[in-house]
């Protein structure tokens, strides 16, 4: 699909506008003070680690829409979805906060986290430290850093800011070149490595993306496979390759009962 890279560029251009707007109404220092007032992070990576001992550890995603699929769920209630996912056996939550392209919002993360006891990742396009600090002010326990949107140095710097705030970090890649970028960023092994099976350029989804990259991933990496997990067979296929952490969104969001769908997905 031609021009799909332009979608990322368009999103990032909008993020730069949002960052400029945010800096007009507040300062990094004020947000840092507000971040310190929040409840301590719930331990996103630790929750996944505990869940992975017993079976598939699922990050269940609250996502109303996407640029490629449009509206995913019309009857959207972040609090209800959070409870459904918790009752269905999710280890953690992912909440989209991008408004313009995913119809998300900070208020959905706040509502979801208040409704349950699960740790929550802020799923957005984070390219500036003020966004990282803001994520902590709305209660995020983890942040997403997308390798395709960041230089190795920028990834290093934002990872450092995140960890200083007690936030866990999920670094997302789509291919081998981006994996090398992450390794070049020299952030050690203090992060979760998300392998997104959906191509950033074509939006084609292949579970083979995770499977083909595993041999190149450091042995110490805590891998999360993302996108394209729709059936229990998909889960079993990935488990057989040694990956025990899954981010699942669209296939659950479309179900009348996400809790029942999640239980069926991870049943052995």
Catalytic pick among 66, 94, 196, 197: 196
Per-residue pLDDT of the chain (268 residues; tens, 9 = 90+): 334 457 889 999 999 999 999 999 999 999 999 999 999 999 999 999 999 999 999 999 999 998 888 999 989 999 999 999 999 999 999 999 999 999 999 999 999 999 999 999 999 999 999 999 999 999 999 999 999 999 999 999 999 999 999 999 999 999 999 999 999 999 999 999 999 999 877 778 999 999 999 999 999 999 999 999 999 999 999 999 999 999 999 999 999 999 999 999 998 6
**Integer Cα distance of 124 and 72 in angstroms:** 17
* pTM: predicted TM-score of the whole model, two decimal places: 0.95
Catalytic pick among 15, 61, 222, 251: 61
**Integer Cα distance of 8 and 149 in angstroms:** 8
Q: What CATH number is attached to the domain comprising 126?
A: 3.20.20.70
Catalytic pick among 86, 129, 226, 250: 226
Q: Mind listing the pLDDT tens digit for each residue in 2-19?
A: 344 578 899 999 999 999
Catalytic pick among 172, 178, 222, 250: 172
Tell me, yes or no, if 227 is annotated catalytic: yes
Other Cβ atoms less than 10 A from the Cβ of 243: the count is 22
Tell me, yes or no, if 199 is annotated catalytic: no
Catalytic pick among 84, 86, 94, 123: 123
**Integer Cα distance of 157 and 179 in angstroms:** 17
Tell me, yes or no, if 17 is annotated catalytic: no
pLDDT of residue 1: 34
**Integer Cα distance of 100 and 13 in angstroms:** 12
Instruction: Tell me which H or E stretch contains 133.
Output: helix 129-137
Domain that holds residue 145: 4-266
Kindly tell me the sign of the dihedral angle through the C-alpha atoms of 215, 172, 130, 154: positive
Q: Mind listing the pLDDT tens digit for each residue in 67-124?
A: 888 999 989 999 999 999 999 999 999 999 999 999 999 999 999 999 999 999 999 9
Tell me, yes or no, if 123 is annotated catalytic: yes
Tell me, yes or no, if 63 is annotated catalytic: yes
Domains identified in the chain, total number: 1
Tell me, yes or no, if 226 is annotated catalytic: yes
Tell me, yes or no, if 172 is annotated catalytic: yes
CB 58 within 8 A of CB 246: yes
């Amino acid at each position: 699909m031609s021009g799909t890279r332009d979608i990322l560029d368009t999103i990032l251009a909008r993020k730069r506008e949002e960052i400029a707007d945010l800096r007009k109404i507040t300062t990094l220092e004020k947000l840092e003070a507000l971040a310190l007032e929040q409840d301590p992070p719930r331990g996103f990576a630790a929750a996944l680690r505990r869940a992975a001992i017993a079976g598939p550890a699922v990050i269940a995603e609250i996502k109303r829409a996407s640029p490629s699929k449009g509206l995913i769920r019309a009857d959207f209630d972040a609090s209800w979805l959070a409870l459904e996912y918790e009752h269905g056996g999710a280890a953690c939550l992912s909440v989209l906060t991008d408004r313009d392209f995913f119809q998300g919002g900070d208020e959905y993360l706040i509502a979801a986290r208040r409704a349950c006891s699960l740790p929550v990742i802020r799923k957005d396009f984070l390219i500036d430290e003020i966004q990282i600090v803001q994520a902590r002010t709305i209660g995020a326990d983890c942040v997403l850093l997308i390798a395709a949107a960041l230089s190795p140095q920028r990834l290093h710097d934002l990872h450092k800011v995140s960890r200083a705030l007690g936030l866990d970090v999920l670094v997302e890649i789509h291919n081998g070149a981006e994996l090398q970028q992450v390794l070049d960023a020299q952030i050690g092994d203090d992060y979760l490595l998300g392998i997104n099976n959906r191509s950033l350029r074509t939006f084609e989804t292949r579970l083979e993306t995770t499977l083909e990259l595993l041999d190149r991933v450091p042995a110490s990496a805590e891998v999360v496979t993302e996108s394209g997990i729709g059936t229990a067979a998909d889960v079993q296929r990935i488990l057989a390759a040694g990956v025990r952490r899954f981010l699942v969104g669209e296939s659950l969001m479309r179900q009348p009962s996400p809790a029942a769908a999640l239980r069926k997905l991870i049943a052995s």
